[in-house]
């Protein structure tokens, strides 16, 4: 599997588009000079290329349960050891717990580089950082001291345990019990399924974060509490949690997806009783942007493979006549429809990458900005965009993986091609950490009306401020600003429809929720392309030696704005049909 870390593009987005090193008001950004970030990303790329990528196909063979322990594919333990030795799990963790304290834009960029190389292996470390974040936010001082240094170093790995056989999305139905003990601990009894990294041989201990019910818990989600339950107890005894099955899956063979049985397992309460779900959402929101990154990474990897194939594979002749008359046929890249597929993917991947890192900069502003008002504004906007990032980047990740498989023709259907594994591996991201339909419902049903509409109005303010700042830039106007304005008008019209019809009939809004989520996603990626176009035009004037990069960036951006962004009008037309076409058919007619 070829792995080509987008190092030049990351530098362009972070330093020329978002200009992070020129934003001293966000703690840590002033230290992120191009030399610093390039050194980090180059080392991340090296471990991704030399160690992680070669293990991707190996991992596809899957994990096995032997004598009560899950064995991961050959080479995985050595790769995780290399990650630990390089300090990669500690990038964003606080220095007081042995971390490096770097901003989210660095952690997410490194995650993209490494996840694109081996998504299955990187799930183990990604969930560990989520467990770290939950305990850092909600753990007692004793819990922090016991777990955070081990999680930050990667010596111990972590999981999140939500799903049970009878419930997935509807967590109000969980039945795992937590019985208080005289010493202040609890005993957990129940079964959890589909637990990523639920058991493995990659670390000495596994820290499970588990949702369960206390004896006096009210029904529904208001009765859920959160517990920390290590596989190995203090003192070295094995806890009462065991893997009873490794799931057989469509993809992600190297990620051990386990069914876990809790049999009077010792655990400790994290946070307040019956407030487990809000505490776990610390991890779930982080997990959702990590899953967005996974989707993007798989599309990125698929695009690179397909571009190589299209340049090398000889098939037919160019429509206007032979492009390479000395060869028996021309390469696939000469055919307009092949170029269309490649450009669809290239324009989406590069725009989505900038959108994701813009979202990451909002996370940093939420936690690190020196102005409380700006922290609140950033928190509002990223709350709005999290479901969009998760759903748009994972829907797109699978879609473009399939499109790039199409470039390969029949060869792409063959095992061993590499591209068919990416298709299988990318599919689950649309489902886990909240299915994408649920993300759309969350966006329309919760995030749009949140705080009286403040988040969406704040985001519109950002878009309008960008348009206002560049309204005199004739080089941007026709190809970038005008298409963005048109897409924003479609978004505004959709919001007006929801306000007029959604209150009277919630189905009218929810029937258009997925369309609105993707409409907003197009606006966000269009905004990202407009920002990158402004930066590329500046680069053309200031750095002629890199002219080819900037010209390619502008051409790709023009393609997106002309060929992909107009989809907002289609999404609006669907939204305006309301609930009737969706709800008219009786259930028995399906």
The residues that are catalytic are 433
3-state secondary structure of 167: strand
Sequence-separated (6 or more) residues with CB below 8 Å from residue 338: 310, 332, 407
Tokens of 29: 């950004």
Q: Label the pairing between strands 205-212 and 177-180.
A: unpaired
Burial class (CB in 10 A: 0-12, 13-18, 19+), 185: middle
Assess contact for 152 and 164: CB atoms under 8 A.
no
With residue 36 as reference, give the H or E element that holds it. Answer: helix 34-47
Assess contact for 161 and 208: CB atoms under 8 A.
yes
Exposed e or buried b per residue across 215-251, where buried means at least 16 C-beta atoms within 10 angstroms of its C-beta: eebeeebebbbbbbbbbeeeeeeebbbbbeebbeeeb
3-state secondary structure of 192: strand
For residue 137, count other CB atoms closer than 10 A to its CB. 13
260 to 198, 214, 280: CA distances (angstroms)? 7, 19, 19
Rounded to 5 degrees, what angle do the CA atoms 292, 397, 13 make? 60
Tokens of 529: 């392309």
Q: Smallest Cα–Cα separation from 399: which of 452, 344, 360, 463?
A: 344
Assess contact for 244 and 226: CB atoms under 8 A.
no
3-state secondary structure of 158: strand
Dihedral sign for Cα atoms in the order 550, 555, 556, 558: positive
- Looking at the DSSP bridge assignments, the partners of residue 187 are 179, 266
């Amino acid at each position: 599997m070829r792995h080509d870390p987008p190092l030049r593009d990351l530098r362009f987005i972070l330093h020329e588009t978002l200009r992070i090193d020129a934003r001293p008001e966000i703690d840590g950004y002033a230290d992120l000079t191009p030399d610093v970030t390039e050194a980090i990303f180059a080392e991340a790329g090296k471990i991704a290329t030399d160690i992680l990528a070669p293990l991707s196909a190996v991992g596809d063979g899957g994990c096995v349960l032997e004598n009560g322990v899950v064995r991961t594919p050959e080479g995985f333990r050595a790769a995780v050891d290399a990650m630990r030795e390089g300090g990669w799990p500690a990038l964003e963790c606080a220095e007081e717990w042995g971390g490096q304290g770097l901003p989210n834009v660095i952690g997410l960029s490194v995650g993209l580089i490494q996840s694109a190389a081996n998504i299955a292996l990187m799930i183990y470390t990604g969930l560990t950082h989520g467990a770290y974040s939950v305990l850092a936010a909600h753990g007692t001082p004793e819990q922090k001291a016991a777990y955070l240094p081990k999680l930050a170093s990667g010596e111990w790995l972590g999981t999140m345990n939500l799903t049970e056989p009878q419930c997935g999305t509807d967590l109000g139905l969980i039945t795992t019990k937590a019985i208080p003990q005289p010493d202040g601990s609890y005993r957990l009894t129940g079964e959890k399924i589909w637990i990523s990294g639920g058991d493995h041989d990659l670390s000495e201990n596994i820290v499970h974060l588990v949702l369960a019910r206390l004896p006096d818990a009210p029904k529904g989600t208001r009765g859920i509490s959160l517990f920390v339950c290590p596989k190995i107890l203090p003192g070295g005894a094995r806890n009462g949690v065991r893997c009873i099955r490794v799931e057989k899956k469509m993809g992600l063979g190297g990620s051990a997806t386990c069914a876990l049985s809790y049999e009077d397992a010792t655990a400790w309460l994290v946070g307040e009783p019956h407030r487990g779900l809000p505490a776990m959402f610390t991890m779930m929101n982080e997990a959702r942007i990590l899953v967005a990154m996974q989707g993007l990474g798989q599309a990125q990897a698929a695009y690179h493979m397909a571009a190589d194939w299209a340049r090398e594979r000889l098939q037919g002749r160019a429509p206007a006549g032979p492009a390479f008359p000395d060869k028996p046929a021309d390469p696939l890249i000469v055919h307009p429809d092949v170029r269309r597929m490649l450009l669809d993917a290239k324009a989406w991947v590069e725009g989505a990458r900038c959108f994701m890192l813009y979202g990451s900069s909002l996370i940093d502003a939420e936690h690190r900005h020196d102005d409380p008002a700006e922290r609140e504004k950033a928190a509002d906007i990223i709350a709005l965009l999290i479901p969009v990032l998760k759903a748009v980047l994972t829907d797109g990740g699978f879609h473009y993986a399939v499109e790039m498989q199409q470039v390969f023709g029949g060869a792409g259907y063959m095992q061993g091609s590499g591209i068919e594994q990416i298709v299988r591996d990318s599919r689950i991201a649309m489902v886990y950490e909240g299915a994408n339909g649920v993300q759309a419902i969350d966006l329309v049903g919760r995030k749009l009306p949140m705080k009286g509409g403040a988040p969406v109005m704040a985001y519109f303010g950002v878009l309008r401020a960008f348009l206002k700042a560049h309204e005199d830039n004739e080089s941007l106007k026709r190809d970038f600003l005008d298409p963005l304005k048109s897409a924003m008008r479609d978004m505004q019209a959709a919001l007006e429809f929801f306000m007029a019809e959604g209150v009277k009939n919630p189905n009218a809004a929810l029937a258009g929720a997925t369309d609105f989520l993707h409409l907003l996603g197009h606006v966000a990626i269009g905004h990202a392309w407009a920002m990158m176009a402004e930066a590329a035009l500046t680069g053309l004037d200031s750095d002629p030696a890199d002219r080819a990069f900037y010209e390619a960036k502008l051409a790709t951006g023009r393609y997106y704005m002309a060929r992909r962004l107009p989809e907002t009008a289609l999404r609006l037309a669907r939204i305006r049909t309301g609930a009737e076409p969706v709800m008219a058919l009786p259930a028995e007619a399906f």
